[in-house]
Structure 1
Amino acid sequence: MDKTIYEVPCIRPRKAGSAIPSPTVPPDPVMVSVPGSKSITNRALLLAALANGVSVLHGVLFSDDSRHFLACLQSLGFEVCINETDQTVSVTGLGGQIPLEEASVYVGSAGTAARFLSACLGTAKGTYHMDASPQMRRRPMAPLLDSLRGLGCEITFADREGFFPFTLTGHGFCSSELTVDIGSSSQFLSALLISAGLAQQDITIHITGTHGMSYIKMTEAMMQQFGVTVRHPSDACFVLSGEQTYRARTYEIEPDVSAACYFYAMGALLGVPLVVRGVSFSSLQGDIAFLRLLEAMGCSLLEEEHGILLLPPADGVLHGIDADMSACSDQAITLAAVAVFADSPTTIRNIGHIRYQESDRMAAITTELKKMGIQCAETQTDLTIYPGSPCACTVETYDDHRMAMGFSLIGLCACGIRISDPMCCRKTFENYFEVLEETISRLNI
């Protein structure tokens, strides 16, 4: 594959609102396998490092983000054994202690590593020099770092206040109460919750903003799986009792629902039944809500032994919807791609925070759709896509893995769509385009 440009194979050209007739004899569902969850992998790596003893993680995602997280743990002195072939990692935790009291830590573009490790090291006892990729240097950190200062951490910035690179000097938990604004990232709260699980005294965390609460639920559920419980006196208040401990364990990581969503969307667009192996409605991952949006557009969903089965609309028509995507905003790009071929406009609401992710995703979506001749309207928090017939173009991906994967879906149904810098997918799904082509080769259409 050309590493600079990828031309998407146009499998089933279709016009907006057009019907894909169902075959007389329904084809067997296409079975797809995706890597382990990035969100769960990186949380499990940190929880294992903070536990007491050896944890063995199975189904680990190996991508740029997770490899950076693993390298960070090693740079801090943790004993980590990696087997990529078996998708297994073992981590020897020291009961909340950081092996090295001074270290340089490079998080790359991994937001989870950037936020989770900053909170953990900012509440430890030691001095840590933190740096990141140019992309991560542009992403917000100030709300988390302000909270760490309130806990007694000293922070010195090498360049811009509130951004990488910086040096943390932690002194433990010097306060038992703090407030954090999660309006631009739920990772700030997840980071503080995981770190607060190590405190000797009770810790109370107050929040402003409500972004990404499905990821907070994931964090709390995984903390409990490793032995630490969070209480909720109110929706905006989180309390952790002191002297809890994380316990080492064997842990199975779920398939990445975010990755699965591209293939479910593919099934909806191409009119083929499709199953992603191991995906369940009981998933810890908030992006499972995206499947309900495909259901609202006319698809049907059945949970079966091997995973959730998506059946495309019986009449072959995808319907425009009005969707609150605050719980699954990583799939806003995916829904925008599907919406291009619906029979009426689709409005995506409450996604203003995606302006501050790997790219300004609101601007990226509108810019690239308009380049194709697709009309869309953008407000501070909402986006409306008007169906149309995409013209051939090269999609800029802005070093954003989700732009590359999401906009590739348009090319399956519109000729001449090319993806610039397809290998930016290495961040979370390094062989996405290989899996896409292998899945296409098994379609009976």
Structure 2
Amino acid sequence: MSQYKVKKLDHPIHCTVEVPGSKSITNRALLMAALSQGECTLKGVLFSDDSRHFLLSLIALGYIIEVNEVERYVIIHGHGRDIPKKRATINVGSAGTAARFLTAMLALSDGEYTIEASEQMKKRPMLPLFEALQSMGAEFEFLEKDGHLPVNVKGAAYGGKKPQNNVSISISESTQFLSALMMTSPMLEEGIHVHITSNKTEGSYVRITAKMMEQFGCVVDHEGAEYVVPAGSGYYPQTYYIEPDVSAACYFYAAAALTGGTAIVKGVHSNSMQGDLKFIDVLKQMGCAVTEEREGICVSGPKDGEYCGVDVDMNDFSDQSMTLAAIAPFAKTTTVIKNIEHIRLQESDRIEAMVNELNNLGVDVKEGRDRIEISPANVKPGVVDTYNDHRMAMSFALIGLRVDGIIIDNYECCCKTFENYFEVLEKACAQ
């Protein structure tokens, strides 16, 4: 595994950057396009490990797809409820969205399939989704560990069967389970009624799903713990524009706070549907100024990077927990990040990863089941273990902008969602 030494900045960052398309929106759009009634053109597509696994899976299922990575577009010929190939093997890699969304798609079909995955994805939770799909008529043969990938799937409509369309599910471990059921509901003639059994009944990514389904012509009725997609729903073929990735943009906004500089991310505006936009409100609380420019949102950090710590519930935008953790040691007061227990079950145990790596850099961190408390510190140089987690690599690299001698181990894991992150960061620092 290779290492990347972050170059310490001796001046505030002042940058205007362009980030890739949103992973969350890209992979949702790929699924909806495949289930549409004709040709869809997706523009601004993210090309990364996760989205390529999704694309290759669709191709393995028989979909005709034209890909142009230079111009960042994809053309997909949708087949409505009908998956072109009735038998196939797909590999979702480490992509949680591909794993959950395509499992639901295949489980509601009339075919037989095998779903393979990376060692990392094999460990991530899937059982609530499997149980919900089994209750709808799907059959699963677990090939290694019960409730986990890899798995053989026999669709709920196999042999002319009629899938059940009333289903209950817990989304305490991942809202992707609900998004998977919602997005694949047009495969069911009678629609779907989903009852949520967990205390958590919604979230920012579920709202993205519902908004995109509406944009593709499919209405979702939601009240409390109930989600209903009416009978006869379907997706319209169209040209669809994918927003820039706000999760990626937040690293540059954080860099502005950290160095007392400014960052504009092209195409990121306050009307974005992405929940990670809430991180900008956190930066405001810390003392940053935020304005909306023609090119995109601009974040200006406090002079000399002198900002306050915060106490914040990050359940609904938890991907930014690590970004906040990276800049928290440089704050004037303690930072508390809470209600994030579910991130222990993602690409890594992200709470444990943050605590370990901050401790290794001389930062005092108190760990709870669903929270961390980070004290101001004189951060020392060191090697950061990324745990093969793209967000650990990208967020903890920010520390190196303030501290000389920060080395990111296995930095290439950022390819999961932002292949040229370190190149873009270098150019941003040189502007």
The answer for the alignment partner of 1:51 in structure 2 is 36
User: Structure 1: any 5+ residue segments left out of the alignment?
Assistant: 14-19, 21-26
Give the Cα–Cα distance (whole angstroms) in 2 for the partners of residues 441 and 212 of structure 1. Answer: 41
1:8 counterpart letter in structure 2: V
The answer for the alignment partner of 1:39 in structure 2 is 24
What RMSD over aligned residues (CA atoms) do the two structures have, in Å?
Answer: 1.4
Determine whether 1:289 maps to 2:274.
Answer: no
Q: Do the aligned residues in 2 keep the contact of 1:123 with 1:153 (CA within 8 Å)?
A: yes
Deviations, residues 58-94 of structure 1 (Å, cap 9, x unaligned): 1011000001000000000000000001001000001
Which runs of at least 4 in structure 1 moved beyond 3 Å after TM superposition? none
Q: Do the aligned residues in 1 keep the contact of 2:264 with 2:297 (CA within 8 Å)?
A: yes
2:177 counterpart letter in structure 1: F
2:390 to 382, 388, 401: 401
TM-score (normalizing by structure 2) = 0.97
Q: Do the aligned residues in 2 keep the contact of 1:184 with 1:211 (CA within 8 Å)?
A: no
Q: SS of 2:32's equivalent?
A: helix
Any residues of structure 2 matched to 1:279-428 within 5 Å, and which? 279-314=268-303, 316-428=305-417
Give the Cα–Cα distance (whole angstroms) in 2 for the partners of residues 194 and 307 of structure 1. Answer: 30
Determine whether 1:64 maps to 2:62.
Answer: no
Give the Cα–Cα distance (whole angstroms) in 2 for the partners of residues 303 and 197 of structure 1. Answer: 38
**How far off is 1:211 after superposition?**
7.2
Give the Cα–Cα distance (whole angstroms) in 1 for the partners of residues 81 and 189 of structure 2. Answer: 11
The answer for the alignment partner of 1:144 in structure 2 is 129
Q: SS of 2:47's equivalent?
A: coil
Q: Do the aligned residues in 1 keep the contact of 2:201 with 2:224 (CA within 8 Å)?
A: no
Any residues of structure 2 matched to 1:53-132 within 5 Å, and which? 53-132=38-117
2:221 to 222, 231, 239: 231
1:161 counterpart letter in structure 2: D
**How far off is 1:30 after superposition?**
2.0
**How far off is 1:9 after superposition?**
0.6
Q: 1:406 to 1:212 in 2, by over 3 A?
A: farther
Determine whether 1:217 maps to 2:217.
Answer: no
Q: SS of 2:316's equivalent?
A: coil
State how many pairs are aligned: 426
Q: Do the aligned residues in 2 keep the contact of 1:212 with 1:327 (CA within 8 Å)?
A: no
Q: SS of 2:58's equivalent?
A: helix
Give the Cα–Cα distance (whole angstroms) in 1 for the partners of residues 274 and 299 of structure 2. Answer: 18
Give the Cα–Cα distance (whole angstroms) in 2 for the partners of residues 73 and 60 of structure 1. Answer: 15
Give the Cα–Cα distance (whole angstroms) in 1 for the partners of residues 71 and 88 of structure 2. Answer: 30
Q: Do the aligned residues in 1 keep the contact of 2:15 with 2:429 (CA within 8 Å)?
A: no
2:169 to 180, 204, 226: 180
Q: 1:145 to 1:401 in 2, by over 3 A?
A: same
Q: SS of 2:9's equivalent?
A: coil
Q: Do the aligned residues in 2 keep the contact of 1:269 with 1:413 (CA within 8 Å)?
A: yes
Give the Cα–Cα distance (whole angstroms) in 1 for the partners of residues 93 and 3 of structure 2. Answer: 23
TM-score (normalizing by structure 1) = 0.94
Q: Give the share of equivalent positions with the same residue, in percent.
A: 47
User: Structure 2: any 5+ residue segments left out of the alignment?
Assistant: none
Any residues of structure 2 matched to 1:231-270 within 5 Å, and which? 231-232=221-222, 234-270=223-259
Q: Which has the higher helix share?
A: 2
Q: Do the aligned residues in 2 keep the contact of 1:389 with 1:414 (CA within 8 Å)?
A: no
2:429 to 413, 416, 440: 440
